[in-house]
A and B are shown apart, each in its own frame.
Chain A
Amino acid sequence: MKQFLYFIKKEFFHLWRDKRTMLILFGMPLMQILIFGFALTNEVKNTRIAILDNSKDDATRKIISELEASRYFDIQEDIRSNADLEKAFQSGKIKMAVVFPERFQDELLHTNAAPIQLIGDATDPNVANTLINYASAIIFDYQKTVEGYQDLPYTINTELRMLYNPQMKGSYNFVPGVMAMVLMLVCAMMTSISIVREKELGTMEVILVSPIVPIRVVIAKMVPYFLLSTVNIASILLLSVFVLNVPIQGNLFLLVGEALLFTVTVLALGLLISTVAGSQQTAMLISLMGLFLPTVMLSGFMFPVENMPIPLQVISNIVPAKWFYYIVKNVMIKGLGFTYIWKETLVLIGMTTFFMIVSIKKFKSRLE
């Protein structure tokens, strides 16, 4: 036991003396929370648009000023012809164009119908859709002022309620994801590389001939990373509560407990990778391709799983982060109790045991 403690101490020194790595490991969650929290929004605002006004009358001027007043659009003045329009789209200067036909107001007042054309840059379909929806809503409002408010008979109103996330903040969706990503990186990638590194440098041989039980050597390697992850979990939670204002709705202890369980799962995964990989580059490649990309792509926090083709949906089930993401979302955001997540917890425990057993088996055989 004493030997074991010495080994843990050794590993701590290893990690602690590498100041750059430490800095990045602590800075990573901070950066991710900041980027995801403030920079990555699907919100549309200040989008550059062009207006081709072939009519130039009171009605078009009114609509243009309404568009200008909204925070969604930023009107570019220097576009005057169809040819300009096409060039502006091609050089990426504008994302949408509003085209008024000649005699817009005349048509509107005399025939009661006047067309407006909205041209969207559909290279990004979702943005194009959103822009066109916003512009339509503004034009629609204008129309209401023209017709004067009048109550139509037989009206069905809809009342909208946003569950769990009344302000529709993106952070609610990704805080659980960032947590999974950081833990994956710290635990799986860093541990596997640091174990393989000893193999590559040859120092593993030295350790293996010492009287300590080999598997303990490896477990000693994981302890510092485990502690590091607890610090990361704490900092992510603190940041999300105090900087992003994402409250923890559910039980804090349950949440932390689940996070620690996931940490153990990924540590076991890291161990497994290290027994398979022969060089640091291979370990890196496996953790990047086999762990990190699936975590980002298939866990459901960036892209909705239910949209994926069936084979990918099936594969997503073996990604531990998917289950963790589900658990955190339910506990932290929805405030649900253990009864709602016991199945997912069991899956994680099952995965952990599986990784542990396989890697310990592999580890022993390698020594022979």
Chain B
Amino acid sequence: MRALLILLEKEFRQVFRNPAILRMMFAMPAVQLLVMPLAADYEVKNVKICIVDYDHSTYSQKLTNKIVASNYFQLVDYTDSYTKALEHVENEEADLILQIPTSFEKDLVREDKSTLFLALNAINGVKANLGGAYLRSIIGDFNNEVRLEWMQMPRFNPIPIVGITSVNWFNPLMNYRFFMVPGILVILVTMVGAFLSALNIVKEKEIGTIEQINVTPIRKYQFILGKLIPFWVLGLIVLTIGLIISYLFYGIVPLGSIFTIYIFAAVYLLSVLGLGLLVSTLANTQQQAMLLSFFLMMIFILLGGLYTSIDSMPDWAQTFTKFNPVAYFIEVMRMVVLKGSTLYDIRFHLAIVAVFGIVLNSFAVWNYRKRS
């Protein structure tokens, strides 16, 4: 026990004397939480549109006005040449082209139907899809207006109509940041924990100070614990900073209990730190350790469900996420913060992450050799 305390004292001193670590602890939350939610905005707005009007009729004018007035779209150009419009798309100045053919109005009035052409820049699929859907709903509205001009609608529905109403639970304003910020908080805690712990033992290896520790009577588990505990504390501090920032800047107050978050985070950090320490015992140089943990983190984070939902991943990836601690924490964080889930709701998540922690840490202890 005494040996452990002395080791802890050494580690804490080292941490607090290292300006890089302290800077990382405060700079990372600030940058990630302040910049990333601003950048990570998937909401589709300001779709830029080019209207090619070959018709120049009253209706084509009306439709154009309606589109411009909708606020979804930003009119880039109103021309009568498709080539010119396509050039705008090629230069990334426009996202979609609406082509109004000659005799659009004439066909509509005389032949009861007419066709508009819509070309979307589909490299960014989400934007193309949503932009196209918005535009079609505007055209649909316009269509109804035209019909009203020409025919009398009966007062009651002439045909059976299913009225669909939709409600958005847990995030009624559909604020994308409420979705992103809790997830980013997880990434933050994970990155700080994994990188710092991964680099730690390797640094001692590289500088050679590990030899000194190896000749002392310190036990293997004591050594690993001595490395683990300081970063565990740091991780919780970073989480606290992150929660404060997300409250101050985004007004996010967890709906569930804050203790639930801390209890889960405490267990979660053990498994992340275990992973870092394992990497640390595997690598010989800091460069290796960094690259290895970067590689692992990248896979864990990308497949953690932060950006895209896990449900839509293929089966092999879904199986993988069962072994991905990051995915569990992101889910728990969103559940507790947005839905107010309780400790009872997340009991399975907690148990699984605890198992990860035990396995990874024992592996790290086992893998750490006192002999080189």
The reply to whether A302 and B171 contact each other, CB–CB distance below 8 Å, is: no
The interface-forming segment of B121-129, B221-229, B231-239 is: B121-129
The interface-forming segment of B240-248, B281-289, B355-363 is: B281-289
- Chain A residues closer than 8 Å to B46, beta-carbon distance: 306-307
| A33 → chain B closest CB, angstroms | 12
- Chain B residues closer than 8 Å to A244, beta-carbon distance: none
- A 100-128 to B, binary, CB cutoff 8 A, 1 in contact else 0: 00000000110011111111111111111
With A38-B317, A108-B160, A282-B20: A156-B339 Cβ-Cβ less than 8 Å:
no
- Chain A residues closer than 8 Å to B116, beta-carbon distance: 156-159
B341 within 8 A of A: yes
The reply to whether B38 and A164 contact each other, CB–CB distance below 8 Å, is: no
A54 within 8 A of B: no
The reply to whether B40 and A197 contact each other, CB–CB distance below 8 Å, is: no
Closest to B45 in A: A307
Distance in angstroms between the alpha carbons of A306 and B206 in the assembled complex: 45
Residue in A116, A155, A330 whose Cβ sees the most chain B Cβ within 10 Å: A155
- Chain A residues closer than 8 Å to B38, beta-carbon distance: 308-309, 312
The reply to whether A123 and B146 contact each other, CB–CB distance below 8 Å, is: no
A83 within 8 A of B: no
Closest to B178 in A: A123
The reply to whether A307 and B308 contact each other, CB–CB distance below 8 Å, is: no
B:146-202 near A, CB below 8 Å: 146-147, 150-151, 156-172, 174-176, 178-179, 195, 199
B89 within 8 A of A: yes
Residue in A41, A109, A139, A329 whose Cβ sees the most chain B Cβ within 10 Å: A41
From B28, B121, B286, contact of A289 by CB (8 A):
B28
The interface-forming segment of B4-12, B210-218, B269-277, B298-306 is: B298-306
The reply to whether B113 and A39 contact each other, CB–CB distance below 8 Å, is: no
Distance in angstroms between the alpha carbons of A200 and B171 in the assembled complex: 50
B36 within 8 A of A: yes
The reply to whether B156 and A112 contact each other, CB–CB distance below 8 Å, is: yes
The reply to whether A132 and B166 contact each other, CB–CB distance below 8 Å, is: yes
Closest to A185 in B: B294
B76 within 8 A of A: no
Closest to A169 in B: B125
B67 within 8 A of A: no
| A339 → chain B closest CB, angstroms | 10
A3 within 8 A of B: no
With A112-B159, A173-B123, A304-B41: A125-B179 Cβ-Cβ less than 8 Å:
yes
Distance in angstroms between the alpha carbons of A207 and B292 in the assembled complex: 28
B16 within 8 A of A: no
B39 within 8 A of A: yes
| A91 → chain B closest CB, angstroms | 5
- Chain A residues closer than 8 Å to B28, beta-carbon distance: 289
A212 within 8 A of B: no
Distance in angstroms between the alpha carbons of A48 and B310 in the assembled complex: 12
| A344 → chain B closest CB, angstroms | 11
From B133, B139, B162, B166, contact of A114 by CB (8 A):
B162
Distance in angstroms between the alpha carbons of A173 and B123 in the assembled complex: 6
We find that the number of chain A residues with CB closer than 8 angstroms to chain B is 112
The reply to whether B166 and A154 contact each other, CB–CB distance below 8 Å, is: no
A358 within 8 A of B: no
The reply to whether A173 and B139 contact each other, CB–CB distance below 8 Å, is: no
A231 within 8 A of B: no
A285 within 8 A of B: yes
The reply to whether B312 and A41 contact each other, CB–CB distance below 8 Å, is: yes
Closest to B86 in A: A163
Distance in angstroms between the alpha carbons of A35 and B310 in the assembled complex: 12
B219 within 8 A of A: no
The reply to whether A165 and B122 contact each other, CB–CB distance below 8 Å, is: yes
Closest to A308 in B: B39
- Chain A residues closer than 8 Å to B291, beta-carbon distance: 21, 24-25, 190
Distance in angstroms between the alpha carbons of A133 and B134 in the assembled complex: 12
B366 within 8 A of A: no
A363 within 8 A of B: no
The interface-forming segment of A140-148, A215-223, A251-259, A265-273 is: A140-148
A:180-201 near B, CB below 8 Å: 185, 190, 193-194, 197, 200-201
From A31, A122, A284, A307, contact of B290 by CB (8 A):
A284
Closest to A194 in B: B287
B313 within 8 A of A: yes
The reply to whether A334 and B302 contact each other, CB–CB distance below 8 Å, is: no
- Chain A residues closer than 8 Å to B334, beta-carbon distance: 123
The reply to whether A165 and B170 contact each other, CB–CB distance below 8 Å, is: no
| B241 → chain A closest CB, angstroms | 16
The reply to whether B113 and A128 contact each other, CB–CB distance below 8 Å, is: no
B35 within 8 A of A: yes
- Chain B residues closer than 8 Å to A121, beta-carbon distance: 169-170
From B114, B128, B339, contact of A157 by CB (8 A):
B114
- Chain A residues closer than 8 Å to B31, beta-carbon distance: 289, 293
The reply to whether A116 and B287 contact each other, CB–CB distance below 8 Å, is: no
- B 33-60 to A, binary, CB cutoff 8 A, 1 in contact else 0: 0011011111101100000000000000
Residue in B91, B139, B164, B171 whose Cβ sees the most chain A Cβ within 10 Å: B164
Interface residues of A (CB under 8 A from B): 18, 20-21, 24-25, 27-28, 31-32, 35-36, 38-48, 89-92, 95, 108-109, 112-129, 132-133, 135-136, 139-140, 142-143, 146-147, 150-166, 168-170, 172-173, 185, 190, 193-194, 197, 200-201, 279-282, 284-285, 288-289, 293, 297-298, 302-304, 306-309, 312, 326, 329-330, 333-334, 336, 340
Subset of 10 A-B contacts with CB under 8 Å: A18-B287, A89-B339, A90-B335, A124-B179, A153-B147, A156-B113, A157-B113, A173-B123, A304-B41, A307-B45
What 8 A-B pairs are tightest by C-beta distance, nearest first? A122-B168, A165-B122, A39-B317, A122-B171, A162-B122, A125-B174, A112-B157, A147-B159
